[in-house]
Every structure is written in C-alpha cells, then in structure tokens.
Structure 1
Amino acid sequence: MIEPQSRELSLSALTVLELSPTEMVQCAADAGYDYVGLRLLPATDHEVRHEIIGDTPLKRETLAVLKDTGMRVLDVEILRLKPDTDVNQYKPMLETAAELGARYVLVAGNDPDEARTIDRLGQLCDLAAPLGLSPSLEPMPWTDVKEIGVGARIVKASGRRNTGLIIDPIHFDRAGSSLDDLRALPREYFGYVQFCDAPAARPADLDTLLFQARCERMIPGEGGLDLVGMLRALPDGLPVSVEVPTERWAKTTRAVDRARRLREATRAVLKEAHEAV
C-alpha cells in the first residue's frame, strides 16, 4: 500500500460550510491539505448560494487565492439529477468547475426513473468530457440511488468512461452495503473517497439519518464505522476528501483548527489501514 503520509487529502466544502469559497481555499492551505472541495451550487434551498458561477468577482477572487496558495480543487458540488432536470442548464457550472481546475463533479440521483437517470448521467458526462471533468455519482440512502449496487448499475449502463462512484463511509454504512460489495466493483469506478466517522448504531428514522449526515458526523477514528475495512476494500492511493460537518464543534472552534484536527485524525486512520496489511 501507498505510504499513509503520501496519501493526498482534500478538505471538503461540507466540513467548513460556514466559509466562502475563497476562505475555504485559504483554510485548506493553512491546515496543510493538498486539495480543497468547493460547493458551487447549494445542496438545499435554505443553504447560502455563493455567486461564483460565470464571470463573477467571487470566481476571480477564488482563482487568485488558488494561485497564491498553490491549492488545487479536487471536486465541486452539487448536481442533482431530478425528473425535470435539463442537463444543459448545468453547463455554466461545469465550465466554472473546469476554470477552477476541478477534477470531479459530485452528482446525486434524485429521480426514481433509473433509465432516465442513466440517460441524463450520460448527457452530463458528454458535456463534462471536453472540460476534463468526471461527474461521479454519490449513493445516499435517502436519494433514489440509495446504495452502491444501484450506483454501479447506473454507471455501467451510462457507457461513459468519465464517470464513477463516490463512496462516503456514513452513507455506505447506513445503506447496509458490505465490504464484499465494495471489493466486487471495478477499480476504475473510483477516483477519490470521502472520509468521516459516525456512531455504530444506525438511525431508526429519516430525520436522525439526515441530521447525522449533514450536521453531526464524527472525527475519523472516534466513531463506530469500519474505516480501515473500507480503505482496504478500495483501490490503494485514492485521494481522501475529509467531509465531517459538525455543527456543535463549529460553534466553539475555528474552521482551520477543526480542519487541522481532522487531517491529523485521518492520517492516523490511514496509518492504521497501512499497518493492517
């Protein structure tokens, strides 16, 4: 396995969502990350929308901070494939992602019609391919792509090479997926992996499921998820996007200090996985 200290780490937008995109870039640089993830489109209606798509002052400021810090963008969020989605409307977002140097675009499947999701993922990949982007599907148990088996079926049926799956430990566990399921998937489906921890007990209701996932995850290594097992089941050396939203912790601790603590904890779990060979 690749040495744990050599594994590239990214600071996910959701971990420091109180920051603007420019502040996220600076935070990731100050906390010692290799990459940053940026949220170009809000995930929910009540979330702050940053005017970064197109020729905007914020985009220019973000590009300047990326250049000044040497920070790179790993992924951008979030595109939703819904029943009424017109994929062409996402082109400006994709163009901005490419300008920022992103490699991956996080996609959520929110359409119960699987055939339509397959078709629209393919269209999205075709728009993204000339821009050097990989729209990647993240299975989440409250979406219509609930677990990795469904996600893998959609990715395969799309027939596109510039797509794949994003594994998030909390979603993977809450969907009831197994490490054997993970090992059985084609290695080329994975470009990076998200990282967090959570209580071992699975929520019994949707509200708790959503709250844990969006607001109160745990520091890697301090919860009950089999993070070492997941790392061992995935291709070696994938970049790790540290995605740990913690509303209570955020009220008392600066974003950069949380980011540093999470980086140290992630490195420790990576070391444990490496030593488990």
Structure 2
Amino acid sequence: MTPNQPRLVGLAQLSLLTTAPPNLVGIAAQAGFDFIGVRVRPVTPSERPYNLQPGSQMLKETLARMQDTGITVRDIEFLLLDGSDQRDAWLRMMEAGQALGANSLTVAGADPDSARLLNTLTNMTEDGRNFGITPTLEAISYQPVASLAQAAKIASDAGCQIVVDALHFNRFIGARGAGQWSELRAHADIVPLLQLCDGPAGRPTSREALVLESRSEREVPGEGGFELAEVVASLPDGLPVSAETPSDRRVAELGELGWARRLKSGVDAVLADADTLRKLRALTPAGTK
C-alpha cells in the first residue's frame, strides 16, 4: 500500500448472509464501504446458494452494480477442507472469483491429517495461480486448525496466505497474554486481510456455543470485550479490513442498510483508536513503559 492511500474497508457476506450479492453491493456502497466479500459456495445445507458462475444472471447483475457503485470484490468464500477430493468445488469457486475480480479464497482446515491438509492446500494454491486467486487459510477456534500459529505454518509451507478473524483469534484458548501480539506481528507478511467483529471477553464454554456465536451472534466492532485496536495496531498500517459481524437479531431490528451503517461506524472507531495507539507508541522511547 502506498503512503497516504486510505485504508480499504469491506463488508463480509457473513454480516448479511441472506442478502444476495447484487444487493450487498448496493448496501455496501450506501454504508460507505469500499469492497465486499462474497460467498460463492454455501457452507451449510440451509444456506441460500448464490449462482455467480460465469454466464449466470446473478453474476451479470453483481458486476453491473459494482460498475455503478465502484464497489469491488476482494475475497470469496468458503471452503472447509475436510480431506475429501474437493478440487472440482474450488475450481468452480475460482472461476466465479476471477469473474468478480477477487484475489483470495478463504478456506479452513477441518482435516485432522495435517500432511493431507498440506497437500490439499498446496494443490489448491497451484490451481489458484491460473485464476489470480490465492487461498487464505483461516484459523477457526472449533476446527482442527484453530490457532494462528498452526494456520501460518501450514499456509507458509503451502505457499499461500492466512486471513485473521478477530473472533477466532480471541476465542482460541491459547491466544492470551502479551505473546498474542508478537505472534500477529510475526506472521503479518502473509496476512492480506483482517476480519473485524467484537464479542464478550469470556470464551463460550462449548463447541456448540462457539459455532452459534461465530455464525449469528457477533458484536459490533468496538462494542465488546476484544482488544481490537491492539489487533489492528499489531498488523501493517493500511492493511484492508472487513466487517464480518453476523447478528440475526440486530439485522431484524435495524434492517440490512441500518446494520451495515452500524458496522461501518464501529470499524471506523476501532481504526481511529488503533491510529491513536500507534502514534502514542511512536512517541514513547524504546525500553520505557
């Protein structure tokens, strides 16, 4: 990122999961976002699928809205790498992503066989070069690849990248204490995107509760117990961020646009706090507290 260029702020599909991509583009533009993430493949059987394959009507509508608004697509999702042969699935996703202008595809590691997972991700990374799309491995607190360190090691070996999700970073039981910030900084060179949300400081006590929180009960950035300004300040200045903050209850209360505007305001406040934190540190002599 060049100096003085504004940081790009996006709206992730999970924040408005039932909003079709063409409408998500319009909402993102009205709320002041720069880009969106798009779910080109459903994660659960209950999710509404969005057909964004080349030649589809929805792709045409999405591209037209993008051209009208200036909103871009930065990342597509989501593939759970479970050890099965999923090459056809990721190739179709990459076709859709290329058509949308995306440059990353988010995946998670559900395969307990680490050698097989590495082989899968290496093959996926190789395929992605033909589409201009790099897999980004996300550590998810209730999956076999749960920690940032795990994800970074596998991604580095596979030649791809990682995406940092503030929820799962905070929910992983090992992400506690001062060491978590140095860990973020250590892997910053392979992080193309930071996903922001907030939540209670206390970690849910069951896997079921973790899943529920992750998919439908996150809090507005800056309104929970996460140290989000510290997370942002530990990564490169200007790194694109995306609001990934689903809340079925508050979407119902505020409407899609109202929720998007609430998220943009929250993200802006967190980024301002992070900038203040950086400036304070720059004024503090090394070796002092």
TM-score, length-scaled by structure 1: 0.94
> Could you tell me how far 1:136 is from its partner in structure 2?
0.2
Query: What aligned pairs does 1:56-205 form with structure 2 within 5 A after superposition?
Result: 56-158=56-158, 160=159, 163-176=160-173, 177=175, 178-185=180-187, 187-205=188-206
Corresponding position of 1:40: 40
Corresponding position of 2:12: 12
Paired with 2:3 and 2:199, the residues of 1 have a C-alpha distance of 25
Alpha-carbon contact 1:190-1:235 (below 8 Å) kept: no
Q: Which amino acid in structure 1 is aligned with residue 7 of structure 2?
A: R
Q: Which moved more, 1:76-85 or 1:4-13?
A: 4-13
Alpha-carbon contact 1:216-1:247 (below 8 Å) kept: yes
Paired with 1:96 and 1:213, the residues of 2 have a C-alpha distance of 25
> Could you tell me how far 1:5 is from its partner in structure 2?
9.4
Paired with 2:18 and 2:34, the residues of 1 have a C-alpha distance of 20
Q: Which amino acid in structure 2 is aligned with residue 168 of structure 1?
A: D
> Could you tell me how far 1:184 is from its partner in structure 2?
2.3
Paired with 1:144 and 1:8, the residues of 2 have a C-alpha distance of 31
Paired with 1:247 and 1:2, the residues of 2 have a C-alpha distance of 37
For residues 138-175 of structure 1, give each alpha carbon's deviation from its aligned partner in whole angstroms, at most 9, with x where no partner exists. 000111211111101101221x2xx2111111100110
**Which sections of structure 1, spanning at least 5 residues, go unmatched?**
none
| Equivalenced residues, count | 273
| Structure 1 stretches of 4+ moved >3 Å | 1-5
1:143 aligned counterpart, secondary structure: coil
1:79 aligned counterpart, secondary structure: strand
> Could you tell me how far 1:133 is from its partner in structure 2?
1.0
Paired with 1:90 and 1:5, the residues of 2 have a C-alpha distance of 33
Paired with 1:95 and 1:129, the residues of 2 have a C-alpha distance of 12
1:235 equivalenced with 2:236 (yes/no): yes
Greater RCO structure (CA 8 Å; 6+ sep)? 1
Paired with 1:34 and 1:51, the residues of 2 have a C-alpha distance of 23
Q: Which moved more, 1:251-260 or 1:33-42?
A: 251-260
> Could you tell me how far 1:4 is from its partner in structure 2?
10
Pairwise CA RMSD: 1.8
Q: Which moved more, 1:20-29 or 1:172-181?
A: 172-181
Alpha-carbon contact 2:75-2:105 (below 8 Å) kept: yes
1:262 equivalenced with 2:259 (yes/no): no
> Could you tell me how far 1:3 is from its partner in structure 2?
9.4
Paired with 1:254 and 1:226, the residues of 2 have a C-alpha distance of 28
Distance verdict in 2 for CA 1:96–1:208, change over 3 Å: same
Paired with 1:224 and 1:99, the residues of 2 have a C-alpha distance of 38
Paired with 2:181 and 2:275, the residues of 1 have a C-alpha distance of 17
Q: Which amino acid in structure 2 is aligned with residue 98 of structure 1?
A: Q
> Could you tell me how far 1:269 is from its partner in structure 2?
0.9
Alpha-carbon contact 1:35-1:73 (below 8 Å) kept: yes
> Could you tell me how far 1:53 is from its partner in structure 2?
2.3
Distance verdict in 2 for CA 1:122–1:214, change over 3 Å: same
Alpha-carbon contact 1:5-1:267 (below 8 Å) kept: no
Distance verdict in 2 for CA 1:88–1:126, change over 3 Å: farther
Alpha-carbon contact 2:200-2:224 (below 8 Å) kept: yes
Paired with 1:206 and 1:174, the residues of 2 have a C-alpha distance of 11
2:44 aligned counterpart, secondary structure: coil
Paired with 1:93 and 1:2, the residues of 2 have a C-alpha distance of 30
Paired with 2:90 and 2:155, the residues of 1 have a C-alpha distance of 19
Distance verdict in 2 for CA 1:22–1:82, change over 3 Å: same
Corresponding position of 2:286: none
Corresponding position of 1:244: 245
Corresponding position of 1:211: 212
Q: Which amino acid in structure 2 is aligned with residue 68 of structure 1?
A: D
Paired with 2:48 and 2:54, the residues of 1 have a C-alpha distance of 17
Aligned identity (percent) is 34
Q: Which amino acid in structure 2 is aligned with residue 174 of structure 1?
A: R
**Which sections of structure 2, spanning at least 5 residues, go unmatched?**
279-289
